[in-house]
Structures are given as structure tokens and as C-alpha cells.
Amino acid sequence: MIYKYEDRLKIRGGSRLNGEITVQTSKNACLPILSASIISNGVVRIDSCPDILDVQNMIEILTELGVSVRKSDNDYILDSRSLNLNHLDFNLCKTMRSSIFLLGAILTRCDSVMLTTPGGCNIGERPIDIHLKAFKKLGVTIRQMGEYIFLNAKNAHAGKVKLKLPSVGATENIVQFASTLKGKTTIYNAAREPEVVDLCNFLSKMGAKIIGAGTKKITIYGVDRLHGTEYTPIQDRIVAGTILCAVAITGGNVRLKYSNSIQIRKLIEILSRMGCQIDVKSDIIELTSDGNLHSIAKVETGYYPDFPTDLQSIMLTLCALVHGETEIVERVFESRFLIVPELVKMGANIEVLSNRRVKVVGVDSLSGACLQAKELRGGASLVLAGLRAKGETIIDNVHFIDRGYEQIESMFTSLGADIERI
């Protein structure tokens, strides 16, 4: 699908959601895996990539680098053996945060690289100093001039890297870089997110030697080269959580085809405590809600396996429509309450206590309004608010939502929602 910046969503609220739906492949797994494909000395096939804006932009960046890309349905066949690092579209790098993953991958193929500081959603400070300090620990020299970053890995060596925070991006960058770096590299305080594990599984399938993925300590034994492979990334736990919360908000019964329920167990626990009936069997999560839920005292985000920051906005919208009061605490990003003014327009009762803490008092209903999506997850949260609101809701800046959700209007229409792209 070709996404347009002027696209809007029109939602007529009040429909209950019912049916069965399969969760798309994970955006946050696909992007670093696509990046890591350039380390291979052969052809790589990545199956079932979601048709989203971030994937389209990553493919454009890889094409600019000289990667041969063929597309078959939602499968990508990539050949990086003729990589050309002399030209890179810096404007594309600015469009998404995930371009930072290219640092580790590119440095396995050449001694030096120049990139711009990456873009992405405006959800707070997201400094890349954690990435750069980690590279320095492995002998990479770095110069930064304004928005340009120059890295030289001529004297790079294996070693020990201790991250000050369990950064997903920094962990994935170092895992990629160290995969062909001679010797033993160990990452301490590594990120444990499922997407990190998936990247490590992909690299291992290409011949990398990685131990400890999914724990706080990951060890990589560098190999001479990686070979081609075929791989299907995991499903998207944030999209799964979005659908479950949408059903909780609107009421209804939905069977979710999703094989990794353990990855969203914190959300499932919270929804159960709020009054949803949830049945988990192998690769099916069935949720039933009458839309008449009650609050829990506090929701607090954190690094995996804690409650994910990417579902915080979704949970905020849900809490705005349950009986009682909830405190939401954001521990990862400091500017993730951008949707609050938009929800207040609809009649939500939310008090911002600080840039990391809000108090939400549930109301019986919201009213449709003209809203502005300001970032990816917040934009999806406004869609959920519109699904429950009385009347018509218009959401502008849908391109933010398109970065991570594959035709979100079709996803919800298939479950009975009255939503269309205009």
C-alpha cells in the first residue's frame, strides 16, 4: 500500500468488536533483521514483513546502499554482496529511529561510515550516546559534527560492553557488529526484549555464534562471515496488545491468532484484573469484554519483562473509560503523554502530574472530535478512543500510525468497526 501524508481516518464509534484476526509480523523485529541482512555473504529472504511505512523506508535505505531487493507479496529477497556505501539518503535516515541499526551492520562491511542522527517519534530524549559509547568500548573511533556522525572501525576489537540502560537499539547494534568481530564480545545489562532474541536467532541462522539472548548477559563469538538464509520474524506484541485493548474498550469477543502470549503476560494480567475474560490456548488468545470495566490502582512501564512503554498510551485510553481512578507512571520516556490534550477534547478526565506521571479518572463515555496524531502509539490510542466515542471522530497525521500498523482501518473493519481512510 502507498501511504499518503494527507490521509485521515474517519471513525463512527459505538460498534462492538467481534471475530478472529491474525496479528501482523513485528515492526520492531523486522527492522533490525532487515538491517542485519547486509552482514550476510549471500542471499537473505525475510518472509511476512508488515506493509508499513517504516519497513518501506528501511527498504529504500537498503536500496540506496546498493542492496538488490526483490519483493514477493510481503516477502523480501535481499542480496548485499554488491553493497555500495558511497551514497546514503540522509533524509530517509531522519524519518525513522531504526536507521541507527545500520551502524553496527555497516561497520561489519567497511572500516568507516557516516550517518545522520536518526529520526522517529517525538516521545522524549532518545540519545544515541549509549550506542556510541558501546562502539568505543570495542575500539571504534567516533566524531560527531552537528547532525553527522563519523565512525571508524579500522582498529576495532572484541571486548566487554556494559550498557548504562538495557537499551534495545544499543544491544542490537553491538550484537550485529560483534557477529563478525574476531574474538569474544560480552554485553552486560543487555536488553531482554523478544525482538532482541529474534534478531539473535536470525543472526544465528546465518552462522553467528551468540549465547544468552533474552538474558542480561549476551556473549558473541565472532565468525569470519555469515551466509544467506530464510527467516520469518515474530508477530507484533504491541499490535496484539492494541487489538486486545480495543476489544476491552468497545466490548465484544475476539479470537486473536498470536503465538507468543507469554510476551504480553503483563497486559493480560491487567486486563483480567479489570474484568475481561481471557482464555489462552497455544496460539489463540480469546478475549471477551462487556465494555464495563473497573480500574486498577497503578500501571507502571519499564524494560522487558515489565509493562511495555509502547502500550502505555493504549492503556491510558483504556483507563479513561473504566470505573475508578488509575495512576500511570512512565519509566522509559519522558514525553509520552502527548495524547492527553486530544483525549481531554473528547471528554476524558486526565490530570498530568509530571512528564512521567498522570492520574486518570474514568468517564462513562467520550465524544467524537477532530484529533491530531503526534506519534505512532499515541495515534493508535486515539483510534481506540474513536472506536468507543459517541459520534464521529476524525484523526489527522495518520502517517504516524502507518509507521507501525498495517492498514489499521482494515484491521478494525474486519472486526466490525466503522472506520475508513479518507
Name the grid cell of 262: 507469554
The enclosing H or E element of 286 equals strand 284-289
Rounded-to-integer distance, Cα 46 and Cα 7, Å: 29
Cα–Cα distances (Å) from 219 to 36, 158, 181, 272, in that order, read: 17, 11, 12, 37
Tell the residue number behind the cell numbers 479513561, with chain if given.
Answer: 320
Cα–Cα distances (Å) from 245 to 13, 31, 226, 241, 252, in that order, read: 15, 25, 41, 6, 11
Q: Which residues contact 239 (CB under 8 A, 6 or more apart)?
A: 23, 24, 26, 404, 405
Cα angle for residues 292, 293, 299 (degrees, 5° grid): 155
Q: Which residues contact 214 (CB under 8 A, 6 or more apart)?
A: 192, 194, 196, 197
Residue in 49, 93, 121, 276 annotated catalytic: 121
Name the grid cell of 165: 540502560
CB 268 within 8 A of CB 305: no
Name the grid cell of 183: 574474538
200 is catalytic: no
Name the grid cell of 363: 468517564
Name the grid cell of 364: 462513562
CA 381 centroid distance within chain:
14
DSSP label at residue 214: T
Rounded-to-integer distance, Cα 214 and Cα 192, Å: 4
Rounded-to-integer distance, Cα 343 and Cα 346, Å: 5
CA 161 centroid distance within chain:
24
CB 1 within 8 A of CB 51: yes
Name the grid cell of 408: 489499521
Q: 362: helix, coil or strand?
A: coil
Active site residues: 121
